[in-house]
Every structure is written in structure tokens, then in C-alpha cells.
Amino acid sequence: MASRGLSYDAWLFFPQLPELFDLAKTYPDMPVITNHCGGVVRIASYADKRKEVFDNWSRSMRQLAHLPNVYVKVGGL
């Protein structure tokens, strides 16, 4: 994709962020974009786990922030 000037846009939920990190690290020349701030979920089975969700999301987002080819679309706040 990178050789064609394309990016990888990922719409996912926060438990999948480590996999996105692996993808972005494997392909450093490809822009990788996570949509909706990394898919924080605060409903259903996550409704009563707000701190755990935030801590997991925050840890993954900090990890992604170290990769220069990763971008974040702000939405769904």
C-alpha cells in the first residue's frame, strides 16, 4: 500500500490497538490511521470497567505515539 501512496485506515476497538501497533511497526513506510481515537468502548460489558478501559486504551495509545507513521482521527468523543 505504501508503494502506491496509500494509507491504512483502521476502525477498531481499543483491545485491538496492540495489533495495530504491530502492523505499523512492521510497515514503517505506510501511514497508519486509527479512527475515532482508538475505539474507546464504554458500553455493554465495558460499562462498569471505565478505569480499566481507560488504562488499557491509554497504554496502547502511548505505545502507538512512538511510531512516526501513526496518525489518529479525532471523532466519536
Contact assessment for residue 33 and residue 10, using Cβ atoms and an 8 Å cutoff: yes
Instruction: Write out pLDDT tens, residues 4-21.
Output: 889 999 999 999 999 999
Q: Which pLDDT does position 6 carry in this prediction? A: 92
Tell me if the pTM is above 0.95: no
Closest CA to 22 of 71, 67, 77: 67
Instruction: Write out pLDDT tens, residues 28-74.
Output: 999 999 988 878 877 777 788 889 989 999 999 999 999 999 999 98
Q: Which pLDDT does position 76 carry in this prediction? A: 58
Whether the per-residue pLDDT at 77 is higher than 90: the answer is no
Distance CA 70, CA 46 (A): 26
